[in-house]
C-alpha cells in the first residue's frame, strides 16, 4: 500500500539509492527513515508488478506526473511482464536532490536509471518505455554509450530527444524554406510552456497554488483524461521540482546538441496525432538516428497512458515480443500495391495507424466490404469478415491473411438478426477484444416504383440496410464506449442518400436513414473519441446489382434487368478497391461524410446548391 492510495495497489515497493560517490543499491526498507545521506544523493521509489522471471519492462513517467500515470498500462502488462515503475527524482515519493539547480541533468537521470535497472534486473537488459519527459530521458539513455547492453528496446511516447530536437531546430533555422520556417514556428508556438517554466519562482508558486488545484479539471476538459486517483496528491511538488528538468537541460542541449546521439537499441515511436505540445513533424527524419524505427500513430491527445492504455499496452507487448524473437525484421512486407510515391506514403501512414487493430467488416464476402477488409489487411490490421455467405466470408479471411493481416476470422451472421448480432459482439469481444474499427457495409439493392413495392420488400430492405447498421452501431458502439479508448464506425450509405429517384424509393429511404443516423451518432459519440463516417460510394462494380430486387416485374424481366444493370455497372467499371481506399482515408482522417465516385460528389453538390434540378433528375425514368 502506498502513501497516496493510488491504482498501483499490489505493487512491491523498494527504494533504490542513486547519485553521490557510492552508487550501490539501498537495502529494501518498509519505512522512509534514513533517507538520502549526503548532497546530491537521492532515494528512488520503485514499484514492481508481475513475475520477476519475465522480461522486465520499465515504465518512465513524464512531467508533471509521477509513476502512477502508468498504472492502467502497468496493470495490463503485469500478466506477461515484470513491470517496473519508478518516481523520477523529486517526483512522487522519490527524494529531491539538494540543491535543486543542477540536480536534474540528464547525466544524473541516467545514473538513476542505471541504479534502478541494476537493482531490478541485474542480469538482463530491460525494455524501456517513456512518456513525455520519461521519453526524453529514454532517448538520452538509449543514445549514450554507458547504457549500452542495459536496454533491450525503447518505446517512445510523446517526448523527443533533446539532442535530436536541437539538430531539428538548427537545420530549420539555418535554411528556413517557407515550409521549414512554418514547422519551426508551429513547434515554437506549441512550446509556450517551456518558456514559461524557465521563469524563476513563478511556476513553482503557480503549481503550489491555483494551478495545482485546477490541474485535474484542466486535464479532464482539454485532454479528456478521466478524473480519479490520478493525478496524485503529490502533483504540486512533482510539478514544482520538475521545472528543473527544463531549466537544467533544455537550453544546454538544444544549443549544443550531441552529434553522436544514435540509438543503440531498437526504438518504437508512438505519436499521438492530437498532441497539443509536440508537432508530429519533430520526428520527420528520425530514422537517421534510430535505424529500423517502428512508427505507430494513434488519434489521441498528449496523455496516451491514461486515455489509450489498452492500445499502448498492446503495442508495447508486441514490440517487446518482437525483440525476444530475435533480431528478425518486421514481418516480410508485400510489394506495394501500386507504384508511385504518394501511394507508398499513404500506405505507410495507414500501416502506422492500423497495424494490429481489430477491424470488423459486415458484408465482407464481396464487393466493397471485401475490398475494405483487404485494404485494412494490407495495413496489418486484424480482420473479422462477417457475411451471410459463409464461404465468401471464409475466402475473404483467407486472402486477408495472405495480404498481411496477422489474424483474420470469418463469421457467418445475418446483420438483420438482432440476437445473432448480439452474440457476434459478445463472441468477438471474448475471443479477439473490442473492435477498433467497425464497417457496417452489408446492404441489398431494391428498385421499382413505390406503388409496386410490397410491404415485405420494404421490410426486407430496411431490415438489412437500416436495422443491420443499427444493430452494428448499437452492440459494437456500446463496447467501444465502455472501453473508453475511442474507435471508429463507418456506415456505407449511398449517393442515393442525397439523390431522390422515382424508381428507388425503398433503397434511397434506407440509405438516407443511414446517412442521418451516422451524422447523429457522430455528434453523440464524438465526446468519447469515437468517429463516425458515412460513405456514399455511387455507381461501383460490385455484386449488388446481380442480387437487386426489381419489384413489380415478372421473373424473366427481373433476370434481364439484373443482367442489364450488372453490365452497365461493369461498363462504368469503378472498382470497389477505390471505395475501400476512401474508407481507410475516412477512418484515418476522421471524416464525416465521404462521397466517393465523381457522380456521388456531383449529386451531393446538386442536393446542396440546386435542389430544383435535383428534383428534376429524380423524375427522370431510367431506361433499362
Partner 1 sequence: MRTLASPHVTQDLAGFREVQRLAYACAEAVAGRLTPGTTERDAARMQREWLRRRGVSDWFHLPFAWFGDRTAFTGFRVPTQFFPSGRRLEPGMPFVLDLAPVYRGFTADVGYSGCLGPDPLHTRMLDDLLDHRDLILRGVRERRPLRTVYEDVDRLMMRQGYANRHRAYPFGVIAHKVGRVRDRRRSPRILGFGTQALKGLASDALHGHREGWSPLWSPYRFSDHPPAPGLWAVEPHLGFRGTGVKFEELLVVTDSRDPEESAFWLDDDLPHVRRRHPVGQGRHPVGQDGQKGTGR
For the stretch 511-517, contacts whose Cβ atoms lie closer than 8 Å and that sit 24 or more positions apart, written own/partner, are 511/443, 511/465, 513/462, 513/465, 513/466, 514/440, 514/465, 514/466, 514/469, 515/491, 515/593, 517/466, 517/469, 517/470, 517/473, 517/491
Q: Is 607 in the site for partner 1 (CB under 8 A)?
A: no
Is 507 an active-site residue? yes
Least distance to partner 1 from the beta carbon of 357, Å? 17
Choose, by CB under 8 A, the member of 35, 346, 427, 560 that binds partner 1.
Answer: 427
Nearer to partner 1, 228 or 575 (CB): 575
Choose, by CB under 8 A, the member of 12, 227, 256, 334 that binds partner 1.
Answer: 334
Nearer to partner 1, 16 or 360 (CB): 360
Encoded one letter per residue, x for contact with partner 1 by CB under 8 A and - for no contact, window 430-449 reads: --------------------
Least distance to partner 1 from the beta carbon of 395, Å? 6
The window from 98-106, 225-233, 318-326, 338-346 that contacts partner 1 (CB under 8 A) reads 338-346
* Nearest by Cα to 237 from 95, 91, 109, 98: 91
Least distance to partner 1 from the beta carbon of 482, Å? 23
Least distance to partner 1 from the beta carbon of 400, Å? 9
Asked if 584 and 379 touch (Cβ cutoff 8 Å), the reply is yes
Choose, by CB under 8 A, the member of 20, 216, 337, 356 that binds partner 1.
Answer: 337
**Residue 57 CB: number of other CB atoms within 10 A?**
30
Nearer to partner 1, 98 or 338 (CB): 338
Within 526-555, the residues that bind partner 1 by CB under 8 A are 543, 546
CA 167, 350, 177: angle at the middle one, nearest 5? 35
Q: Is 381 in the site for partner 1 (CB under 8 A)?
A: no
Q: Is 422 in the site for partner 1 (CB under 8 A)?
A: no
CA dist., res. 374 & res. 347, Å (int): 13
Per the residue annotation, which of 86, 507, 569, 574 is the catalytic one?
A: 507
Choose, by CB under 8 A, the member of 573, 612, 621, 623 that binds partner 1.
Answer: 573
Nearer to partner 1, 346 or 427 (CB): 427
Least distance to partner 1 from the beta carbon of 390, Å? 5
Q: What is the dihedral of CA 328, 375, 464, 384, to 10 degrees?
A: 0
CB-based contacts of 27, cutoff 8 Å, min separation 6: none
CA distances in angstroms from 345 to 268, 284, 337, 573, listed in the order given: 19, 13, 12, 26
CA 421 to chain centre: 26
Choose, by CB under 8 A, the member of 311, 366, 465, 597 that binds partner 1.
Answer: 366
The distance in angstroms from the start CA to the end CA of the chain is 76
Nearer to partner 1, 237 or 366 (CB): 366
Least distance to partner 1 from the beta carbon of 23, Å? 48
Q: Is 412 in the site for partner 1 (CB under 8 A)?
A: yes
* Nearest by Cα to 470 from 416, 409, 391, 407: 416
Nearer to partner 1, 426 or 605 (CB): 426
* Residues binding partner 1: number (CB under 8 A): 37
Least distance to partner 1 from the beta carbon of 394, Å? 5
Within 382-411, the residues that bind partner 1 by CB under 8 A are 390, 392, 394-399, 401-403, 407-411
Residue keyed to cell 485546477 = 214
Asked if 489 and 533 touch (Cβ cutoff 8 Å), the reply is yes
At 144, is the secondary structure helix, strand, or coil? coil
Nearer to partner 1, 85 or 371 (CB): 371
Q: Is 324 in the site for partner 1 (CB under 8 A)?
A: no
Q: Is 345 in the site for partner 1 (CB under 8 A)?
A: no
Nearer to partner 1, 25 or 417 (CB): 417
Q: What is the dihedral of CA 599, 600, 601, 603, to 10 degrees?
A: 80
φ/ψ of residue 107, rounded to 5? -60, -45
| Residue 385 bridge partners (DSSP) | 361, 410
Nearer to partner 1, 292 or 570 (CB): 570
Phi-psi sector, 38: left (phi>0), alpha (psi -120 to 50), beta = left
DSSP notation for 338-377: S-SHHHHHHHHHHHHHHTT-EEEEESTTSHHHHHHHHHHH
Q: Is 376 in the site for partner 1 (CB under 8 A)?
A: no
**Residue 4 CB: number of other CB atoms within 10 A?**
17
Least distance to partner 1 from the beta carbon of 98, Å? 57
And the C-alpha cell for 159?
517526448
Choose, by CB under 8 A, the member of 43, 204, 223, 378 that binds partner 1.
Answer: 378
The window from 13-21, 337-345, 434-442, 451-459 that contacts partner 1 (CB under 8 A) reads 337-345
Q: Point out which residues bind partner 1 (CB under 8 A).
A: 332, 334-340, 366, 370, 374, 378, 390, 392, 394-399, 401-403, 407-413, 427, 543, 546, 570, 573, 575, 577
Residues identified as active-site: 507
Amino acid at each position: 500500500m502506498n502513501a497516496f492510495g493510488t491504482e498501483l495497489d499490489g505493487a512491491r515497493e523498494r527504494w533504490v539509492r542513486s547519485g553521490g560517490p557510492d552508487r550501490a543499491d539501498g537495502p529494501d526498507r518498509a519505512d522512509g527513515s534514513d533517507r538520502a545521506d549526503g548532497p546530491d544523493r537521492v532515494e528512488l521509489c520503485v514499484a514492481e508488478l508481475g513475475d520477476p522471471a519475465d522480461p522486465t519492462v520499465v515504465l518512465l513517467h513524464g512531467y508533471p506526473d509521477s509513476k502512477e500515470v502508468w498504472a492502467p498500462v502497468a496493470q495490463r502488462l503485469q500478466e506477461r511482464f515484470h513491470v517496473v515503475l519508478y518516481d523520477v527524482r523529486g517526483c512522487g515519493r522519490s527524494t529531491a536532490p539538494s540543491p535543486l539547480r543542477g540536480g536534474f541533468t540528464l547525466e544524473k537521470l541516467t545514473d538513476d536509471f542505471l541504479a534502478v535497472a541494476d537493482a531490478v534486473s541485474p542480469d538482463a537488459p530491460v525494455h524501456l518505455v517513456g512518456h513525455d519527459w520519461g521519453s526524453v530521458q529514454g532517448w538520452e539513455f538509449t543514445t549514450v554509450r554507458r547504457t549500452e547492453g542495459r536496454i533491450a528496446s525503447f518505446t517512445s511516447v510523446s517526448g523527443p530527444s533533446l539532442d535530436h530536437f536541437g539538430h531539428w531546430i538548427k537545420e530549420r533555422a539555418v535554411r528556413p524554406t517557407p515550409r521549414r520556417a512554418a514547422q519551426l514556428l508551429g513547434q515554437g508556438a506549441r512550446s509556450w510552456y517551456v518558456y514559461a517554466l524557465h521563469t524563476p519562482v513563478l511556476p513553482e508558486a503557480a503549481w503550489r497554488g491555483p494551478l495545482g488545484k485546477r490541474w485535474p479539471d484542466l486535464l479532464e476538459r482539454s485532454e479528456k483524461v478521466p478524473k480519479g486517483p490520478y493525478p496524485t496528491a503529490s502533483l504540486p511538488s512533482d510539478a514544482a521540482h520538475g521545472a528543473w528538468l527544463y531549466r537544467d537541460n533544455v537550453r544546454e542541449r538544444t544549443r549544443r546538441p550531441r552529434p553522436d546521439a544514435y540509438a543503440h537499441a531498437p526504438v518504437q515511436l508512438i505519436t499521438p496525432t492530437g498532441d497539443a505540445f509536440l508537432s508530429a513533424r519533430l520526428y520527420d527524419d528520425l530514422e537517421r538516428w534510430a535505424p529500423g524505427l517502428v512508427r505507430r500513430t494513434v488519434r489521441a491527445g498528449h496523455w496516451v497512458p491514461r486515455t489509450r492504455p489498452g492500445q499502448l499496452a498492446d503495442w508495447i507487448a508486441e514490440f517487446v515480443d518482437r525483440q525476444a524473437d530475435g533480431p528478425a525484421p518486421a514481418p516480410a512486407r508485400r510489394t506495394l500495391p501500386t507504384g508511385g510515391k504518394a501511394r507508398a506514403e499513404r500506405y505507410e501512414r495507414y500501416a502506422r495507424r492500423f497495424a494490429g487493430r481489430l477491424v470488423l467488416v459486415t458484408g465482407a464476402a464481396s464487393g466493397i466490404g471485401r475490398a475494405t477488409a483487404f485494404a485494412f489487411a494490407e495495413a496489418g490490421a486484424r480482420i473479422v469478415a462477417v457475411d451471410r455467405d459463409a464461404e465468401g466470408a471464409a475466402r475473404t479471411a483467407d486472402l486477408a491473411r495472405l495480404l498481411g493481416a496477422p489474424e483474420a476470422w470469418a463469421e457467418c451472421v445475418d446483420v438483420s438478426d438482432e440476437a445473432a448480432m448480439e452474440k457476434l459482439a459478445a463472441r468477438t469481444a471474448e475471443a479477439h477484444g473490442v473492435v477498433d474499427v467497425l464497417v457496417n457495409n452489408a446492404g441489398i439493392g431494391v428498385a421499382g416504383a413505390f406503388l409496386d413495392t410490397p410491404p415485405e420488400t420494404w421490410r426486407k430492405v430496411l431490415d438489412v440496410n437500416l436495422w443491420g447498421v443499427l444493430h452494428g452501431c448499437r452492440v459494437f458502439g456500446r463496447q467501444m464506449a465502455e472501453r473508453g479508448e475511442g474507435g471508429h464506425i463507418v456506415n456505407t450509405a449511398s449517393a442515393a442518400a442525397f439523390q431522390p429517384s422515382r424508381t428507388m424509393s425503398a433503397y434511397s429511404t434506407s440509405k438516407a436513414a443511414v446517412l442521418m443516423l451516422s451524422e447523429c451518432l457522430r455528434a453523440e459519440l464524438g465526446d468519447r473519441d469515437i468517429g463516425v463516417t458515412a460513405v456514399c460510394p455511387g455507381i461501383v462494380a460490385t455484386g449488388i446489382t446481380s442480387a437487386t430486387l426489381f419489384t413489380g416485374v415478372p421473373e424473366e424481366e427481373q433476370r434481364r434487368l439484373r443482367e442489364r444493370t450488372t453490365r452497365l455497372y461493369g461498363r462504368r467499371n469503378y472498382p470497389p478497391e477505390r471505395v475501400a481506399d476512401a474508407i481507410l482515408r475516412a477512418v484515418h482522417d476522421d471524416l464525416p461524410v465521404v462521397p466517393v465516385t465523381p457522380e456521388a460528389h456531383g449529386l451531393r453538390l446538386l442536393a446542396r446548391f440546386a435542389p430544383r434540378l435535383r428534383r428534376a433528375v429524380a423524375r427522370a425514368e431510367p431506361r433499362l
